[in-house]
Homo-oligomer: A and B are copies of this chain.
Amino acid sequence: MSAATKFMQIEGSFVMHRGGVLESPTIAYETWGKLNDKRDNAILLFTGLSPSAHAASSPEDQAPGWWEDMVGPGLPLDTEHYFVICVNSLGSCFGSTGPASTNPVTGATYRLSFPVHTLEDVADGGYQLVKHLGIDKLHSIVGCSMGGMSALALCVRHPGISAGLVSVSSATRSTPFGIAVRSLQREMIRQDSKWAGGNYDPEDPPISGQRLARKLGMITYRSAAEWDQRFHRERASSEGHIGDLFGFDFEVESYLESRARNFTGHFDPNCYLYLSRASDLFDLAEHGGSLDAGFSKIQLERAMVVGVSTDILFPPHQQKELADGLSKVVPDVRYVPLDCIQGHDSFLVNMDSFRPVICSFYETCS
């Protein structure tokens, strides 16, 4: 946990969107900059599935955050002008209550007794945090990947909570391709015998299943075109070989292995399962019976939708659909399709493309 993490406890029972209750759950978050006197300069940032609330470094925690080049003084989310709040999603494992937390009613870890989890619950956790911080209306919400769907959920469940919305590489709902990929990732973890029906030893978690799931994640987070350029048919260095007949022949295999090893051990498997499934379940069209009905609940002054041509998880046609839908109900909508080669992860790694777009929304370009 980052030393910069702050916590708020929701008083009493938190009723989940699809049933079930969490007693006095905690929401973890970090902030940068200062809330101004008018309390109208707050930006709420929802993350993708796996990051913590540590979006950027700060005096309390100087380690680089997951959006280090986007949040800070003089950066697109300029903390000299804006009060930036990044929330750790409810259901995650970086301070907010989730399946790896202790249920205060039973004294035991929730594990699979955690209720069915949805991005509507993630959104409500963010809403409670905003109220806790004494903010009536946000300047804007920024949601990346899964966080973009959490942001949409917040907009439809609490209309008027924000003046602006920035959706980054997200969509109104997951595609069957995305569902298939995530369903298979979950199955990889569940089939690792160490998962033990959710009752794994936290000191000996289902690392093998998590590593497989992370590799499949990386295959869908990046793009085939990037890998053509980056790896082509480069052979694995000898260090990458694991020695057996089916070791690694190619550098792309070594790359996946090192990326997977960096990830596993840092994210609780049950939390991953719950948030992954929540990503599949979200559908803006469930808020009213159709996408149009869902959009009609949204009250925003302006919005921006940014997406990437090579994103196979939230492909360009979904970005367009989101922008078109918002255009029917929001006076000022800008759609920015970017031609980055790094796929879905471009917003994390191609800062040169994303910074100008984000700062144009915030008028922070220097």
Contact = CB atoms under 8 A, between A and B. Distances in A.
Interface string A158-175: 000000000000000111
Contact of A180 (B175, B191, B246, B256): B256
A277 B256 contact: no
A23 interface: no
Interface in A96-152: 112, 116
B312 A250 contact: no
Most buried by B among A112, A116, A256, A283: A256
Nearest to A182: B253
Contact of A252 (B176, B215, B245, B248): B176
A344 interface: no
A37 interface: no
B212 A252 contact: no
Interface string A173-216: 11111011101101110111100000000000000100010011
B116 A179 contact: no
A221 to B, nearest CB: 12
B175 A188 contact: no
Interface string A205-247: 0001000100110110000100110111100000000000110
Nearest to A250: B179
A183 B246 CA distance: 9
A338 interface: no
Given A187-B212, A208-B191, A216-B184, A281 B176 contact: no
A335 to B, nearest CB: 20
B190 A193 contact: no
The secondary-structure label for the interface of chain A is helix
A123 B187 CA distance: 37
Contacts of A76: none
Given A176-B233, A233-B283, A250-B176, A224 B184 contact: no
Copies of the polypeptide in the assembly: 2
Given A212-B191, A249-B281, A175 B227 contact: yes
A315 interface: yes
A116 B245 contact: yes
B253 A180 contact: yes
A283 B212 CA distance: 27
B315 A183 contact: no
Interface string A268-306: 000001000100110100000000000000000000000
A218 B183 CA distance: 13
B219 A280 contact: no
B190 A246 contact: yes
B280 A173 contact: no
Most buried by B among A253, A280, A315: A253
Contacts of A256: 180, 183-184
Contacts of A277: 246, 249
Contacts of A248: 183
A186 B212 CA distance: 11
Contacts of A173: 233
Contacts of A177: 219, 224, 227-228
27 contacts: A116-B245, A173-B233, A174-B233, A175-B224, A176-B228, A176-B231, A176-B252, A177-B227, A179-B250, A179-B253, A180-B215, A180-B218, A180-B253, A180-B256, A183-B250, A183-B253, A184-B219, A187-B212, A188-B188, A188-B212, A191-B192, A216-B216, A224-B312, A224-B315, A246-B277, A249-B277, A249-B281
